Amino acid sequence: MACDKDEKMDDHLIRVVSPDGLFRAAAAITTGLVRTICEKQQTDFTATVALGRLLTGGALLSCLLKGKQRLALAVEGNGPLGKMSVEADAEGKVRGTIRNPVVNLPPDGDHFDVAGAIGKAGFLHVWKDFGLKKPYQSMVQLQSSEVAEDLAWYLTSSEQVPSSIGLGVELDSTGRVAVAGGFLVQSLPPGDSEQIDLLTERIKELPPTTSLLRQGLTPTEVLARIFGSSGFHVEQTIPLQFFCPCNQVQIEKMLIGLGRQELNSLLEGEEPVDVTCEYCRKHYTFNCEQMGELIKLAK
């Protein structure tokens, strides 16, 4: 399948369906997105790969959303990374944060020790906002702590949709993200065991996702490797970008929600109160007069 120049350059995701409707899939290039967010989070090498995988996974899962729907993923294990969180929406806007961005773990052979950084015991939490009164929530135990397998296990066990996910993040010698991206393939009812086996074998035979990306393969070309001659129809192409919707009003509401007692304690130092968004690292400063107004509104 031919690809234009833009597809080779820009972060984006394609969502496809097989001609018989028995499979849906997505593939994404997330290099710029992952690079931007990890630079904001000031992650070390291992943390960059771990957070980059979750960011790419969140982008891939966002292709299953519609309209104004949103999702959030959180991985929290017993390793030194602590908690990683990613949010994404149906328009391809993604943001992420990490509790401990520097873990100083040595590589595990020729790979970064993502599983060791996350920890072998822990949970994957999933929230989906469908515009209803309460968001959908689910939680599964981590299976491998390598991120891709954990996301696939969640989709297969909790959403009952057999899924395969490949995620890759490769760094240059300075620790900067060189390439990042991944793919998601799902079997839809009623299923075709023969076709499932064929695609499973093709996925197993694929080179590492980072190798495909380093070769310059586009999302379309990655999926073509998986689907082969059976092909697919591209349903949508979604540009991907870092986006944080934080603003002054949101931060004020957050502070008010802390309660009057907590706000009074923040003012004890008689210094302006500085709040930093954990996602974009933007600073919001409130002087004593502004804090006084917020205290009046708090309970």
Q: What is the pLDDT of residue 7?
A: 44
pLDDT in tens, 205-249: 999 999 999 999 999 999 999 999 888 999 999 999 999 999 999
pLDDT in tens, 83-112: 999 999 999 999 999 999 999 888 877 789
Three-state secondary structure string covering 152-196:
HHHHHHCCCCCEEEEEEEEECCCCCEEEEEEEEEEECCCCCHHHH
Domains and CATH numbers, the chain: 8-242 (3.55.30.10), 248-297 (3.90.1280.10)
Q: What is the pLDDT of residue 270?
A: 65
What pTM was computed for the model?
0.92
What is the residue whose two structure tokens read 């959403």? Answer: 159
pLDDT in tens, 158-168: 999 999 999 99
**Distance between CA atoms of residues 132 and 69, nearest Å:** 10
Residue 244 amino acid letter: C
Q: How confident is the model at residue 9 (pLDDT cuts 50, 70, 90)?
A: low
